[in-house]
């Protein structure tokens, strides 16, 4: 009798999990419904990458922003006729169009083979993994089974994303909300080894750092001058520079070597090296690319579990830019 009660209790727990849509991500989720999905996405990513390198940082940043707002549910992809979706928020306006286009093209390729089966959220997760691997970074098995979210509102973005002037305590708190620890924080920050930034995101470090020093004294002097040459005062706001001045088209551990050398671009980057709580991790990643690659892969998998929708919590969009359900918000 006791064993029967235990069995019924376990069965009840399992049914609750199913109803809540939890615990369903798996590496072979599409094994029977779309077995070639990863190959299809990778081919689309490779084609897009052959056209422009912005594919890499654009897709990677798109994945980060998507997961940090409503969870990894492709809500960042929604286009609103009234310009009030996530992508329209101030912190997302600078997201590269090539990142969106990468996901759209990959989804179209998947739909041609497996219509109505694979979510935009999973396509984005696969594409983010692939752009890293295709530029020298680690590859890893991706967990799949996400559904696309039903909410995309610009008003819900503020306060959800890391800012370039955040200190370590603020960054740690933000990342911990997504079950990411400080090692994950340092590892994911390594994505700054590719991509670019607009000058206004770090101009304060060059011209108005403090009353006693206009230039941030933690900056390597030669690097500070290089930045000022590229980003003079009142520069055109569309001007952008590489975040990694050494190997901007390789996904490597140069970001950490730059931090150690005083060549971190953002205040939030410098915080990772300055604060004793994370300095040892930065130094380790600077000296050991294998350790960085392993930590980055682990952190990406963990990030990909953030706020996923499964079961009845979402949908499988046919068009990544539009909800299927008319009453979605």
Can you tell me which residue has the tokens 């809500």? 75
Contact indicator for 120, 103 with CB cutoff of 8 Å? yes
Stretch 186-209: mean pLDDT: 95
160 is in an annotated binding site: no
Give the percent of the chain with pLDDT over 90: 89
Cα–Cα distance, 311 to 73 (Å, whole number): 13
What secondary structure letter does DSSP report for 289? Answer: H
252 is in an annotated binding site: yes
The answer, yes or no, to whether residue 4 has pLDDT greater than 90, is no
The whole-number pLDDT of residue 20 equals 38
The whole-number pLDDT of residue 326 equals 64
328: confidence class by pLDDT, cuts 50, 70, 90: low
The answer, yes or no, to whether residue 142 has pLDDT greater than 60, is yes
The answer, yes or no, to whether residue 10 has pLDDT greater than 90, is no
115 is in an annotated binding site: no
Closest CA to 244 of 194, 309, 198, 202: 194
The answer, yes or no, to whether residue 13 has pLDDT greater than 60, is no
Q: Which of 65, 87, 201, 317 is catalytic?
A: 65
Q: Reduced to 3 states, what is the DSSP secondary structure of residue 315?
A: strand
Each residue's pLDDT tens digit, 96-134: 999 999 999 999 999 999 999 999 999 999 999 999 999
| Joined tokens for residue 218 | 């933690």
Q: Give the angle 247-248-252 at the CA atoms, nearest 5°.
A: 60
The whole-number pLDDT of residue 312 equals 84
329: confidence class by pLDDT, cuts 50, 70, 90: low
Stretch 257-261: mean pLDDT: 97
What secondary structure letter does DSSP report for 215? Answer: S
The whole-number pLDDT of residue 287 equals 98
Contact indicator for 99, 59 with CB cutoff of 8 Å? yes
237: confidence class by pLDDT, cuts 50, 70, 90: confident
The answer, yes or no, to whether residue 316 has pLDDT greater than 80, is yes
Stretch 83-107: mean pLDDT: 96
Contact indicator for 193, 253 with CB cutoff of 8 Å? yes
Backbone angles phi, psi at 228, to 5 degrees: -65, -35
For the full predicted model, state whether its pTM sits above 0.75: yes
Closest CA to 264 of 172, 168, 179, 181: 168
Q: In sequence order, what E strands does 70-176 have?
A: none
75 is in an annotated binding site: yes
Strand partners, 309: 147
Query: Can you spell out the DSSP letters for 156-178?
Result: GTTTSS--TT--HHHHHHHHHTT
192 is in an annotated binding site: yes
Each residue's pLDDT tens digit, 151-178: 999 999 999 999 999 999 999 999 999 9
What secondary structure letter does DSSP report for 324? Answer: S
Average pLDDT over the chain reads: 92
Neighbours of 235 (CB within 10 A): 14
The whole-number pLDDT of residue 18 equals 39
Q: Tell me, yes or no, if 65 is annotated catalytic.
A: yes
Can you tell me which residue has the tokens 């030669």? 222
162 is in an annotated binding site: yes
First to last CA, the chain: 49
Closest CA to 321 of 33, 54, 90, 62: 62
66 is in an annotated binding site: yes
In Å, the largest CA–CA distance within the chain is: 79
| Joined tokens for residue 7 | 């069995």
Give the percent of the chain with pLDDT over 70: 91
């Amino acid at each position: 009798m006791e064993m029967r009660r235990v069995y019924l209790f376990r069965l009840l727990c399992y049914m609750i999990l199913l109803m809540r849509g939890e615990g369903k991500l798996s590496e072979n989720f599409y094994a029977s419904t779309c077995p070639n999905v990863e190959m299809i996405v990778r081919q689309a990513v490779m084609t897009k990458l052959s056209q422009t390198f912005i594919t890499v940082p654009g897709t990677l940043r798109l994945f980060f922003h998507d997961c940090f707002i409503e969870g990894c549910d492709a809500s960042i992809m929604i286009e609103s006729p009234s310009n009030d979706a996530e992508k329209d928020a101030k912190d997302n306006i600078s997201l590269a169009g090539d990142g969106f286009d990468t996901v759209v093209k990959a989804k179209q390729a998947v739909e041609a083979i497996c219509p109505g089966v694979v979510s935009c959220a999973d396509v984005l997760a696969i594409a983010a993994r692939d752009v890293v691997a295709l530029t020298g970074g680690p590859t890893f098995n991706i967990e799949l089974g996400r559904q696309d979210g039903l909410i995309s509102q610009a008003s819900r973005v503020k306060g959800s994303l890391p800012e370039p002037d955040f200190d370590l305590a603020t960054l740690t708190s933000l990342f911990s909300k997504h079950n990411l620890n400080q090692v994950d924080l340092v590892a994911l920050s390594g994505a700054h080894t590719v991509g670019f930034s607009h000058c206004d995101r770090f101009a304060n470090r060059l011209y108005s750092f403090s009353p006693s020093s206009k230039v941030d004294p933690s900056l390597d002097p030669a690097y500070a001058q290089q930045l000022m040459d590229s980003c003079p005062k009142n520069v055109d706001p569309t001007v952008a520079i590489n975040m990694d001045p050494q190997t901007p088209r390789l996904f490597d551990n140069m970001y950490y070597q730059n931090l150690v050398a005083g060549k971190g671009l953002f205040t939030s980057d410098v915080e990772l090296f300055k604060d004793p709580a994370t300095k040892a991790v930065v130094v380790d990643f600077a000296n050991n690319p294998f350790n960085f690659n392993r930590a980055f892969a682990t952190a990406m998998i963990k990030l990909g579990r953030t706020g996923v929708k499964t079961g009845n919590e979402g949908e499988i969009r046919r068009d990544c830019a539009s909800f299927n359900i008319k009453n979605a918000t």
